[in-house]
Amino acid sequence: MIRPSTACGTYRTPPHGQPARTTERGNTLRTDVRFNSNGLRIAAHLYTPGDGTQTRGPAIVIGHTGSGVKEQAAGLYAQRLSGHGFITLAFDAAYQGESEGEPHGLEDPAQRVEDFKAAVSYLSARDDLVDSERIGALGICGSGGYLVAAAAGDHRLKAVATVSGTDLAAHFRHGGDGAQDPQVFQAMLAAAAAARSAEARGEGTQMFPLFPRTPEEAFARGGEYGREGFEYYCTDRGQHPRSTKLLPWSSIDRMASFDAFQYAHLIAPRPLLLIAGRLAVTSWMSVNAYQRAREPKELHWIEGASHIDLYDKDEYVEPAIARLGGFYAASLAATAVDKAAA
């Protein structure tokens, strides 16, 4: 039974400075790690296959969903891919989860892009564990857009993939289905401007709720897409106490002119894999990224899946993991890296 959380409209400031710890999960080890991104401490989980004694190998950076944290879909994919023999790093974006940055919940595209690059830097320095020439990345939902933008300018990423990838800025400008009235975003920009002025007057951080408080509101406001988001983030299906439920208004004008896929063509000749649910209302964004990218590229459909189905439902996650596993195995193989460098 899915039970709504009474805290869906709240957020919790995360603790910092927690000691690193290692836990065993199935056939992987998970270790708490930290690294710097633009002066902010980023919290992450490092997953290593088996008993952690393997030789240096390929690694995958994994970004979480919009408003999510590393313990949700990102952690699930990190653990599953580690089970396929990869070192994986799932991290909380700056201002979110256990990572530093105030106000909590802020969505800053420039920082989110930098977070991916900082995660690659962390892995590239782990020469006790990681082959720095064999680092790939995965972005889920909103982090998919940020990853494409990051990879366009960072040649250290040898293989790039997204699952339910979205450009969060386009999501706010055009709506999840791409059919939003343009005046909606203009009204949001007006509200963001007013919020900045209120903050300048000392009225505190101005925020708005990302989710309705009840399933009835979710159905009324967003149809099936809104209901699925509520069920994942606001019920015991996928909720997490550090997953932000409020968005600072200043996030809106920061995203106003951001285009995550503008330079997708610069990823080539490194391979790009875009995985989307056939029923996802957001799939138009994966199509947009695919159209802007150059070969080698692939748009892989998961039949019967919606956008959020790919976060945690085994019947859709497993085929996604299978395709990702094959993609990274081929793209991050030593021979493939040597060939690309030649």
**23 has a pLDDT exceeding 90:** no
In a domain, 250, yes or no: no
Q: Is the dihedral of CA 127, 72, 307, 260 positive or negative?
A: negative
* pLDDT digits 0-9 by tens, 105-161: 999 999 999 999 999 999 999 999 999 999 999 999 999 999 999 999 999 999 999
Tell me the backbone φ, ψ of residue 163, rounded to 5 degrees. -125, 125
Strand 157-163 and strand 87-91: the pairing is unpaired
Q: Quote the pLDDT of residue 51.
A: 59
Q: Is the pLDDT of residue 9 over 50?
A: no
Separation CA 187–CA 197 (nearest Å):
16
Q: Do 311 and 144 meet the contact criterion of CB atoms below 8 Å apart? A: no
pLDDT grade for 2, boundaries at 50, 70 and 90: very low
In this prediction, residues 228-233 reach a mean pLDDT of 93
Q: Is residue 333 part of a domain?
A: yes
Q: Is residue 222 part of a domain?
A: no
Rounded Cα distance, 63 and 133, in Å: 20
pLDDT for 55 equals 76
Q: Is residue 61 part of a domain?
A: yes
**CATH classification of the domain holding 38:** 3.40.50.1820
pLDDT at 271 over 80: yes
Q: Is residue 86 a part of any domain in this protein? A: yes
Residue 199 maps to a domain? no
Residue 66 in this model has a pLDDT that exceeds 50: yes
pLDDT value, residue 220: 74
| pLDDT computed for residue 26 by the predictor | 64
Q: Are 151 and 137 in contact (CB under 8 A)?
A: yes
Mean pLDDT across 222-239:
87
- Let me know if residue 280 belongs to a domain: yes
So what's the pLDDT on residue 24? Answer: 59
Burial class of residue 215 in the structure, from the number of CB atoms within 10 Å of its CB (0-12 exposed, 13-18 middle, 19+ buried): middle
Band (pLDDT 50/70/90 cuts) for residue 17 is very low
For residue 295, being part of any structural domain is answered with: yes
pLDDT in tens, 190-215: 999 999 999 999 999 999 999 988 87
Q: What is the predicted pLDDT for the residue at 112?
A: 98
State the average pLDDT for the chain: 91
CA gap 79, 226 in Å, rounded? 28
Confidence of residue 222 (pLDDT cuts 50, 70, 90): low
Alpha carbon distance 31, 22 (integer Å): 4
Q: Which residues are within 8 A (CB) of 235 and not within 5 positions of it... i.e. 6 or more apart?
A: 2, 3, 4, 5
pLDDT at 52: 54
- What CA–CA distance (Å, rounded) separates 323 from 28? 20
Residue-wise pLDDT tens digits, 76-85: 999 999 999 9
**Whole-structure pTM over 0.85, yes or no?**
yes
Yes or no: say if 89 and 64 are a contact pair by the CB < 8 Å rule.
no
Residue 144's domain spans which residues? Answer: 22-182+255-341
Question: How many domains does the chain contain in total?
Answer: 1
Q: Which residues pair with 297 in a beta bridge?
A: 272
